[in-house]
């Protein structure tokens, strides 16, 4: 079982093994501690994280921590190699685009009674986009929280419960500013890596914070954790040479002393919708590709029980797997050209003052708008025509669907987010339900036309995101639309 490790160093048993054959140099977008600050060494090139320590039979010292998105915020790291076996681990900034898919497979118990299996999935992408005021590096991305299901639906189009845009800046002095922080990243300061070279069997300890929202209802609680790591050595994973690191930690809330790792009083929440206590254990395996340090897989085996003020308990027992991959940011100009080639739209204008967003007009027989957005390239299918109060498309829409499918087939290896919108006519619940059904119907029609189901996500917004005035027929026609985003 995982123990809640004390602040002092722990000395593991001595071991005998050879040193790693290469120097490990970690490049990471940013380091973040549990109170949202980033700190750099005086020379300005080496981020430091002061709350972690490690010990082994060979080396002792400080650990430098890397931000790791386990649930909803994943920034890339790459590993460069040199022929100096004992020169240590060095963290440096590197601004790369990164994607992560996290899948959870848990058994759920309410008040001790098994109620079924739970599948959760989150997808995210983060991309460095600009240098802002004060030479701060700006990052943007989107997080897609998929609808919870009672069965594995990896090969199906998936409903999206929430789309969460993220924008944040990192300043030269190490400060980070996250706009509209909604609890992401969920696991901060994890994993942590030692500065110096390590041997198989080496152990170290790091501190982190895990943000918990067990029911996905928007009531996150930050929980300090202390993690014990061990380097296991090298092996093959699907014929790929990897480094294996194991980690274990306990989750306790409130903590033993009711304090955060920085010594500040632990934040508590009086609202009864937040859980009041937590106890759990985590056993984690981390696989890093040797050739470049890409984190191919993180598997977290967990068992946690949450308790609310009314005495209700919810226990989750199972595993969460995170798959990471680097990606080349979408070439919006090329994608727009490829889509326009099929849709035969024409450029109307490009606003030089809209931060580079591209807008193209439409021809009467297509009525589709293309727009460059932070999450990719969006096709807006204007005034989409369904049978009234139904998700059944009019036959007159089929030629447009054929064109859209043909255009999307020009864009391989990308996913598509389909979003349904309705006019607002005073029935918000019905409008939301109808918009979801219409988005799903659009997905089904595109799947029929030869696009893989697993490439689609879909969500309905009802009448909450109008483009026009709902008091006029012209405005309502603008609001009745489906948007398809070719995602980063």
CATH number at residue 455: 3.30.1330.60
Same domain membership, residue 310 and residue 386: no
Domain finish residue from 311, 326, 341: 326
Looking at the structure, tell me whether residues 104 and 123 fall in a common domain: yes
pLDDT at 360: 41
Write the CA distances from 128 to 69, 417, 472, integer angstroms: 16, 21, 41
- Is residue 142 in some structural domain? yes
Same structural domain for residues 209 and 235? yes
pLDDT in tens, 330-377: 888 899 888 988 887 444 433 443 444 444 443 445 788 899 887 789
Please identify, among 303, 326, 349, the residue that sits at the C-terminal boundary of a domain.
326
Query: How far is it, in rounded angstroms, from Cα 350 to Cα 152?
Result: 43
- 3 in a domain, yes or no? no
Query: DSSP code of 133?
Result: G
Same domain for 429 and 402: yes
Say if 13 falls within a structural domain: no
Residues 412 and 313 in one domain: no
Give me the pLDDT at residue 405, please: 95
Q: What is the C-alpha R_g of the chain?
A: 24
pLDDT of the residue at 228: 97
| 8 Å CB contact between 326 and 346 | no
For 447, the domain range is: 332-487
Token pair in block for residue 477: 């026609």
Residue 429 has a CB neighbour count (10 Å cut-off) of 8
Question: What is the rounded CA–CA span in Å between residue 300 and residue 149?
Answer: 20
Query: Which is more confidently placed, 39 or 208?
Result: 208
Q: What's the CA gap between 368 and 378, in Å, rounded?
A: 10
What pLDDT sits at residue 380? 93
Q: What is the pTM assigned to this prediction?
A: 0.69
Q: Are residues 308 and 446 in the same domain?
A: no
Same domain, 339 and 481: yes
75: nearest Cα among 177, 189, 179: 189
Q: What is the DSSP letter of 374?
A: T
pLDDT at position 365: 56
Looking at the fold, whether 213 and 289 belong to one and the same domain comes out as yes
Verify that 293 and 372 share a domain, yes or no: no
Residue-wise pLDDT for 28-87, tens only, equals: 333 333 333 333 233 333 333 333 333 333 333 334 333 334 333 333 343 333 333 333
In a domain, 17, yes or no: no
- Domain end point (choices 294, 326, 358): 326
Mention every residue, 6+ apart, whose C-beta is less than 8 A from residue 362: 343, 345, 368, 369, 382
Res 465 pLDDT > 90: yes
In a domain, 12, yes or no: no
Q: pLDDT tens across 165-206, in order?
A: 888 777 766 566 777 777 777 777 788 888 788 889 999 999
Mark whether 313 and 366 lie in a shared domain: no
Q: Are 306 and 278 in contact (CB under 8 A)?
A: yes
Domain total of the chain:
2
| pLDDT at residue 255 in the model | 59
pLDDT of 175 reads 60
Residue 4 lies in a domain: no
The token pair that represents 230 in the structure block: 């061990």
List Cβ neighbours of 473 (8 Å cut-off, separation of 6 or more). none
Pair of tokens at residue 190: 């994890």
Residue 16 falls within a domain, yes or no?
no
Domain membership of residue 273 (yes or no) is: yes
């Amino acid at each position: 079982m995982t123990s809640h490790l004390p602040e002092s160093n722990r000395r593991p048993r001595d071991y005998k093994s050879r040193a790693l054959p290469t120097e490990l140099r970690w490049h990471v977008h940013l380091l973040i501690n549990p109170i949202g600050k980033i700190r750099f060494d005086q020379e300005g090139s080496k981020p430091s994280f002061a709350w972690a320590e490690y010990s082994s039979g060979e080396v002792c010292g400080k650990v430098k921590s890397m931000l790791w998105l386990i649930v909803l915020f994943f920034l890339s790291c790459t590993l460069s190699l040199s022929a100096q076996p004992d020169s240590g681990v060095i963290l440096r900034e590197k601004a790369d685009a990164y994607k992560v898919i996290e899948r959870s497979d848990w058994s759920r118990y309410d008040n001790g009674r098994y109620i079924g299996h739970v599948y959760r999935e989150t997808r995210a992408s983060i991309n460095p986009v600009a240098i802002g005021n004060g030479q701060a590096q700006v990052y943007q991305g989107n997080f897609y929280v998929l609808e919870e299901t009672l069965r594995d639906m990896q090969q199906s189009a998936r409903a999206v419960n929430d789309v969460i845009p993220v924008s944040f800046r990192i300043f030269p002095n190490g400060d980070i500013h996250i706009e509209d922080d909604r609890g992401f990243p969920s696991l901060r300061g994890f994993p942590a890596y030692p500065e110096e070279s390590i041997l198989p069997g080496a152990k170290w300890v790091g501190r982190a914070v895990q943000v918990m929202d067990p029911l996905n209802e928007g009531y996150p609680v930050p929980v300090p954790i202390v993690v014990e790591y061990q380097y296991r050595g090298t092996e093959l994973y699907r014929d790929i040479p990897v480094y294996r690191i194991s980690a274990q930690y306990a989750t306790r809330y409130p903590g033993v002393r009711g304090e955060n790792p920085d010594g500040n009083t632990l934040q508590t929440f009086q609202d009864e919708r937040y859980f009041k206590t937590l106890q759990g254990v985590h056993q984690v395996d981390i696989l890093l590709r040797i050739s470049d340090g890409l984190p191919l897989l993180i598997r977290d085996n967990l068992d946690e029980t949450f308790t609310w003020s009314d005495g209700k308990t919810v226990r989750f027992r199972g595993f969460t797997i995170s798959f990471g991959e680097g990606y080349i940011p979408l070439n919006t100009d090329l994608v727009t050209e490829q889509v326009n080639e099929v849709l035969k739209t024409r450029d109307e204008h490009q606003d030089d003052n809209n931060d580079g967003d591209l807008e193209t007009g439409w021809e009467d027989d297509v009525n589709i708008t293309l727009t460059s957005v932070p999450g990719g390239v969006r096709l807006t299918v204007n005034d989409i025509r369904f049978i009234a109060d139904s998700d059944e498309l009019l036959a007159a829409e089929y030629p447009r669907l054929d064109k859209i499918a043909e255009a999307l087939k020009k864009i391989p290896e990308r996913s598509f987010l389909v979003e349904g919108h309705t006019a607002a006519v005073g029935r918000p619940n019905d409008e939301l339900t109808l918009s979801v059904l219409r988005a799903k119907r659009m997905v089904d029609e595109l799947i029929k036309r030869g696009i893989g189901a697993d490439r689609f996500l879909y969500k309905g917004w009802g009448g909450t995101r109008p483009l026009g005035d709902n008091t006029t027929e012209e405005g309502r026609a603008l609001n009745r639309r489906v948007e398809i985003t070719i995602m980063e």
